[in-house]
Amino acid sequence: MLHAKKFLTLILTAIVLVTGCSRCLAQSLRDYGDKIGILIGAAVNPSKLTEDAYASTLAREFNMVEPENAMKWAAIRPDQKTFNFKPGDQLVTFAQAHRMKVRGHCLVWQKYNPAWLMNGRFTSEQLSDLLREHISTVMKHYAGQVFAWDVVNEAFDASGGFEHSIWYDSPGIGMAGKGTAYLEQAFRWARMADPKALLFYNDYDAEGLNAKSNAIYAMVKDFKRRGVPIDGVGLQAHIFNLSTKEISSLSDNITRLTALGVEVHITEMDAGLPLDRKGNLINGSDLTKQAEIYRFVAKACLQQRGCTAFQTWGFTDKYSWIPGYTKGTKGMALLFDETYAPKPVYNALREVLQQRAQGLGRGAGP
């Protein structure tokens, strides 16, 4: 009698030979990510983990998770003296149960701050103390559980200057007008709080070579030269048109960043499609264009050893931020539809990962 495992293998092989259904034995994104040594992640709402399809798809397809909002100031610190770690802890517990890494997001941002902080009329000295306390408390709570943090999020404007921020100039932590000094201070506090965590700067519209990405590059170069602790840059990759024109220099940008000795993560990938007033896709061919955008970004990342993570902002169209942000004009931005069925964009990403895995099997270089 054949051993049960061998028998099952024969049956599955027969299915492929008879039906031509190689996808019947398809490996997940996570499977390929594990093979080629890249983290495949998704931003997650911990409250949705009780939904079976959400949790099972997440665990099957991804080896990294990041909270969408659960670790931001407004969620984690409802008042000055209270830290609400419950949602974040729930996500960490899920990740540990499914052998997934957790990416933290985010410690310093001018948005999504609680009313008590924004309206508190704090002095610069008080704000400095609050920020240092916040970074220290949150990072120490998750030490050994969160492997990387977006320490600072979206601090630069489109021209390469600085966004107005309670931390920078309104009233700031005492370093207004001193360029990246307040960012440097945040990174130094973060390293002190958890010396083992990777520390990232994260931003949008900085994927290609432009004024913003140049400013980020200059900051990282300066930080590395002076020994300021920074380990990586997160490129969000929110794509709001069906073209790669604005991100055509993505590979060049990743190359110059990784040459400085930092890692690059694609942190918030999605690509919205035009919808009609009823929320239906206007042009079915846009699904193919969307798939090619994901393929382009994934290939640009995989070409560099220093690009070590590819993450989407959510993973199912059922819970995407895009329709709300665009007032219903765009949507269907993610890998799975509202019923958790994989879309052409999923297949495109999977094919890029599969090709990379096959290339490594043949001894191909980076």
Close Cβ partners of 314 (under 8 Å, ≥ 6 residues apart): 42, 43, 44, 45, 68, 270, 320, 321, 334
Phi, psi (deg, nearest 5) at residue 137: -65, -45
Q: What are the counts of helices (DSSP H) followed by strands (DSSP E) for the chain? A: 13, 11
Sheet strands (E) in 216-318? 232-235, 238-239, 263-271, 273-274, 307-312
Catalytic residue list: 154, 268
Amino acid letter for position 233: V
Tell which residue, 246, 258, 273, has the closest CA to residue 337: 273
- In DSSP terms, 232 is beta-bridged to 200, 263
Contacts 24+ apart (CB under 8 A), 16-23: none
